[in-house]
A and B are shown apart, each in its own frame.
Chain A
Amino acid sequence: MTEYTPIFRSPISPPEATTSASDLGLTDLTGIPISLVQGQAGDILQQHLATVPTTPGDLVALDNGWVACLTPKEFYLCGLFSTVKTQAELADNLTGASNSISVTDFTHAKAALKLTGLAAPQLLSKICGLDFHDQTFPNMQLKQSSAAKIKTLIARYDEYGAPTYHLHVNRSLGQYFWDIVWDAGQEFGIIDS
């Protein structure tokens, strides 16, 4: 049988690259491994990951990504971790431990954007009704809300001291969402980073 090398493609076609410096950058991270774990998985996850959040909305950083608690029975894993090399390995470990746990690969389900910069909260206030102030949406928190009229998972995971938000939407809406964020960011000099 012929060997194939499938090509992964993002749903997003960013604009022409810009080189100017900016306080606000938007990055297409689509393709980053994402898993949804459902069921009473907290304890079992704890065995495989260094630490696991237990309160809905909390997010914990791991070596190459983060894990968030959506509900007491739902966990959202973004990235890969040194203790779990592949999503399939994680799925096998978890589902093997309990029949009531399911693991869904969401890598292809989501368009994943990263918005970084001091103006990021301002930009998000133009498309989402959440309060992005540090007091109400601090670092290492996750919220699910409507942004630009679509369901959006917003995880705050600051980088280098700058407010940073991971914005995950349904993949089919990825280009639409990118366009909206890009347009809203024009007044802040947004760049494709």
Chain B
Amino acid sequence: MNTQTKSTVVHEGGGRLPAHASLKVDYSQAFEFKFNGKMYPAYKGDTIVTALWAAGVKVLGRSFKYHRPRAAFALTSGDSNALLRVGDEPNARGNVKLVEPGMEVESQNVWPSLETDIMSLTKLGSRFMPVGFYYKTFMRPKSLWPVYEKVIRNAAGLGYVTTDIPEAYFDKKYEFADVLVIGGGPAGMSAALSAAEAGARVMLVDENPYLGGHLAYEHHSVICHNVAGQAATSEAAYALAKRLAQQVMDHPQIKVELNTNAFGIYEHLWIGAAQNDRRLLKIRAKSLVVANGAFELPLLFRNSDLPGVILGSAAQRLMHLYGAAPGKQAVVLAANRDGLQVALDLQAAGVQVITVVDLRDQPDSDLVTQLNAVGISVRSDSVVTKAQGLKEVNGVLISQVTKESPMKTGGIKVIPGTQEFVQCDLLVTSVGWIPATGLLYQARAQLAYNEERAEFLPLSLPPKVFAAGRVNGTHGVEAELQEGHVAGLNAAAEVGYGAGAPETLATEVSNLKAAEPVRTSPLVYVPKAEKSFISFDEDVSIKDVRDSVAEGYKSMELLKRYSTLSMGPSQGKYESLNSMAICAEANGQTINETGTTTSRPPFTAVPLGVLAGRVMEPVKYTPIHNWHIARGATMMNAGLWKRAEHYGNPTSEVLGTRNSLGLIDVSTLGKLHLYGQDVPKLLNMLYTNKWSKLAEGQVRYGVMCNEEGIIFDDGVTANLGQGKWYMTATSGGVNAVYENVEWNLQSGWDFDVHIVNMTASYAAMNLTGPNARHTLQALTDIDLSNDAFPYMAVRQGQVAGVPATMMRIGFTGELGYEMHVPAGYALYLWEMLMEAGQPYKITPFGVEAQRIMRLEKGHFIVGQDTDGLTDPFMAHIDWAVKMDKDDFMGKPSLLRIQKQGITHKLIGYEMLEANVVPEEANQIVIPNPEQPIGLEIIGRVTSCRYSPTLKKSIGLGWLPIDQTEPGTEFTVRIRGELHPGKVSAIPFYDPQGEKLKS
């Protein structure tokens, strides 16, 4: 780790400014990080870009299409020029990502290096790559497509993804608020305080690691006369920001989440936000104040994308938040008082301001006076027409202009003979603002272009949504604060706190806004700027837009998709207004007539991991799980359950059980308690067989069908006496069975029955094999003799002191006792059974051995041997269907099926080659020359295993009804080869059930 902590200020190359109260960097904590293989100094609080800028590094990467050198120009998250690779993370936003000690940062889209990028030669062929060229080229000859594809794939994309890296940790959090405020600038903080004072529970989110918005990076004095009923104040903007931020942070009703990007507004004020690019916040707000500010508008001139051309707000951020000098010699291009203020700030920071070029004929006299006083000239009616330099700015061309009145998109003309070259290493532009209305748009606000103010502004807002500050076209700090105050009061009132803002306050805000000077110039580009880039994301120029419109892409929605405007990483934040204006001009329409594109979430870039959130995959463990693991079991997934598949040798587990004694954990079985006098009626409706006469102490097997007569579950139910019954269902089907019963009990079956799902409450284990009785009898007082406890009986008592419900049933075909015991005692009982079974060499067995044994008995498994079309007749269990019952679920359908007859049947089979074991879903085929490979599929295999007991390959499968007689031969296609088999009677093992009933 190349980390060093210093207690003294480090000024590398003079790029750092003296310490100041507004700075967010800590000069006492210095360290180093790596950029493109070289070490650079940084301070805690620096972003990657500010550390590099202070160290004299402006160029960060190359542009997407023409590989032009690019540097940060806005210093915001929406500035796509600062996408960098940080460690394994591609496309990290260098403007806002805080640099860390030892961090490794690389440029993207460069080859072989940032300084010498061969792909930059593509600009020489730009005439062959007009807008939409990829829709028109690479078509012919068809045979060359593989070559084109390879080249395109190498050239396209931004950054690369590394897949063999540890999974990053993401999570999510649910949040709730009466009033959610998006944006922690003056308007947002004012709104939050007012809503909270009214009694609302307020949440404020801001994408920055600090509150204050634009105030945080402004040093000039702000005078507020009577905001929110407070006395008049005059203080530096950053100091005001700190004072308000402290009030917000201290307020018990306000929860502040910083580093949090609100990226989407969905139905019913459900807001998605990404925190630290690691956590998804799902915020449910009752009312919403959007105060997320504005983006500064770039002006388009030749080379306006050249490194060293930056926005005024970016210069202020560099100086006042990070202590980085933006340059040494600057020219400022202004069209509002913000630009003049930036010039004063630059001069105060020690940057030599060569001149200020102002598009207006009458720049703000108060600021001009201040500029002149420090020796800075202000040229009115002037503009920068070109930035000079190869990789960075080394000068600008300035001209005097004449203007159309009113000013239009490209409405200026250069006065011949006035052009002048001015040497500088920095051009700062400040010509207007683009309200960040994307979120308001998503909230269904109506927006329109305001010709007078040259901004897209809300016309109307949906219920419970409010806007304040620059997003609402309000730029003066006093007006922002007052508008936030009104919005906060009204948002709180919407949800029942306070009476809202008095009408006089709203009027006052309107008056303040009306008195504000226009901040944004309608001018979008200067003469000869047609090749300058509107989109830094995708290298789309003014000419490209005009060509697109000429080709018929006149709508912004179509133009966007054809040209890729606003489809890059920044999603058009700094290009949308300019592109709309140029499209409108090309169409001969107004901006409002041309219309906008659609703002969709995410408003700001969100890592996919944030959306994916935390991986939460529920896993169910049986109470015996840890014993299985300790015994070296191979575990398998069975739905959400983990089950022991085997303990190393399923064959020996089968033989051990058949020959002596086995024990299996069947805790995953579904288990239900049924109470009430009407349980037999319920069972009669649920199962296809009869239940009215099942005596206390008896167990019966049953099959459940749905209303279409399709088998959906099976199991046994025991009559425990005193109106209490115990039902088992399949592991995967128990929830559906439970819900089915509950639904019917609550919506028609007027039975006196309570049902409780006890699946987790009981563990279950099956002790089975010829020695099961001897073993178990040693642990219980229950008489286990065949007469006292026969097959298909249930008994309740204690086994090794554990209360147990025991059923003489079994899937294996051997004498068996299925014990259902309270889960907390299950492991104890299991260990007791294992110990008691030692004299008989008890074998714990897993699911695989159980499947072999059940197959030997010919038992089907619902969902494996049956499917969504299987009825009981097809499944060969006609004996379990009692059509003489009054009614049961599926009876009408089964009557129809019985009348129509069935076409296929589930059969048992054995392969004629004993060692050939088909795979589940293998096809059963007959020769048919008319079929593509000469074979016709007539059936399929559903289960198959080699039986160690019978020493042959057996299974279950489906065949046409006329081929189901035992002895009928058929052919199975296994991995392309044909193997013979024949239908067998089932059960294969102990067909009379003598062992089972012994």
By a beta-carbon cutoff of 8 Å, the part of chain A in contact with chain B is 1, 3-11, 13, 30-31, 36, 38-39, 99-100, 102, 104-110, 122, 125-131, 133, 135-136, 148-150, 170-176, 180, 184
Contact = CB atoms under 8 A, between A and B. Distances in A.
Given A6-B828, A126-B171, A108 B802 contact: no
Nearest to B799: A4
Contacts of B760: 108-110, 170-173
Contacts of B617: 149
A39 B173 CA distance: 37
Given A131-B176, A172-B641, A7 B822 contact: no
A9 B623 contact: yes
Contacts of B618: 148-150, 173, 176
A104 B672 CA distance: 11
B553 interface: no
13 contacts: A4-B832, A13-B626, A30-B824, A99-B676, A99-B677, A102-B675, A102-B756, A108-B760, A126-B173, A128-B174, A133-B176, A171-B623, A173-B620
B823 interface: yes
Contacts of A126: 171-174, 614
Identify whether the interface residues of A are mostly helix, strand, loop, or mixed. Answer: loop
Contacts of B723: 99
Contacts of A11: 621, 623, 823
A128 B828 CA distance: 34
B773 to A, nearest CB: 17
Greatest chain B CB density within 10 A among A6, A13, A110 is at: A6
Contacts of B677: 99
Interface string B748-785: 00001010101111100000000000000000010000
A9 B821 CA distance: 13
B752 A1 contact: no
Contact of B621 (A135, A150, A172): A172
Given A7-B828, A31-B824, 18 more contacts: A3-B801, A4-B801, A7-B827, A9-B828, A11-B621, A102-B675, A102-B754, A107-B822, A128-B174, A129-B282, A130-B174, A150-B618, A170-B620, A171-B623, A172-B823, A173-B619, A173-B640, A175-B621
Contacts of B756: 36, 38, 102, 104
Contacts of A13: 626
A10 B175 CA distance: 33
List 10 A-B pairs, minimum CB-CB distance, nearest first: A4-B801, A109-B761, A108-B822, A170-B760, A102-B675, A172-B620, A131-B176, A8-B824, A171-B760, A108-B823
Q: Which of A39, A108, A131, A133 has the most CB of B within 10 A?
A: A108
B673 A104 contact: yes
Contacts of B623: 9, 11, 171
A108 B761 contact: yes
B491 interface: no
A149 B640 CA distance: 12
B487 interface: no
B201 A135 contact: yes
A172 B824 contact: no
Contacts of B781: 1
Contacts of A129: 174, 282
Contacts of A3: 801
Contacts of B626: 13
A28 B621 CA distance: 17
Nearest to A127: B616
A3 B622 CA distance: 27
A107 B823 CA distance: 9
A176 B761 contact: no
A2 B824 CA distance: 21
A176 B615 CA distance: 12
Contacts of B176: 131, 133, 136
Nearest to B803: A6
Interface residues of B, number: 49
B840 interface: no
B174 to A, nearest CB: 5
B829 interface: yes
A3 B282 CA distance: 56
Contacts of B800: 4, 6
B825 interface: yes
A1 B800 CA distance: 10
Interface string B262-303: 000000000000000000001010000000000000000000
A115 to B, nearest CB: 16
A164 to B, nearest CB: 20
Contacts of A6: 800-802, 825, 828-829
Contacts of A175: 619, 621
Contacts of B175: 125
B703 to A, nearest CB: 26
A99 to B, nearest CB: 7
Interface in B626-646: 626, 640-641
A166 B620 CA distance: 20
Contacts of A130: 174
Contacts of B640: 173
Contacts of B282: 129
A131 B392 CA distance: 53
Q: Which of B282, B618, B762 has the most CB of A within 10 A?
A: B618
A149 B822 contact: no
Contact of B827 (A9, A108, A127): A9
Contacts of B673: 102, 104
A184 to B, nearest CB: 7
Given A6-B825, A172-B621, A39 B761 contact: no
A148 B641 contact: no
Given A148-B616, A173-B619, A4 B758 contact: no
A103 to B, nearest CB: 9
A8 B825 contact: yes
Contacts of B801: 3-6
A4 B836 CA distance: 13
Nearest to A170: B760
Contacts of B641: 172
Residue picked from B176, B617, B623, B824, most chain A C-beta under 10 Å: B824
A122 B275 CA distance: 15
Given A102-B754, A135-B201, A4 B761 contact: no
Nearest to B171: A126
Nearest to A7: B828
Contact of B171 (A4, A100, A150, A184): A184
Contacts of A4: 798, 800-802, 832
Contact of A176 (B620, B675, B758, B798): B620
Contacts of B171: 126, 184
B537 to A, nearest CB: 34
Contact of B761 (A7, A122, A150, A171): A171
Contacts of A105: 761, 822
B201 A133 contact: yes
B619 A109 contact: no
Nearest to A4: B801
Interface string B817-839: 00000111111110010000000
A72 B616 CA distance: 33
Nearest to A8: B824
A187 B762 CA distance: 35
B180 to A, nearest CB: 13
B172 A171 contact: no
B780 to A, nearest CB: 8
Contacts of B614: 126
Contact of B616 (A1, A110, A149): A149
A103 B19 CA distance: 72
Interface string B727-756: 000000000000000000000000010101
Interface string B137-178: 000000000000000000000000000000000011111100
Contacts of B616: 127, 148-149, 180
Given A30-B824, A133-B176, A133-B201, A38 B754 contact: yes
Contacts of A174: 621
A170 to B, nearest CB: 4
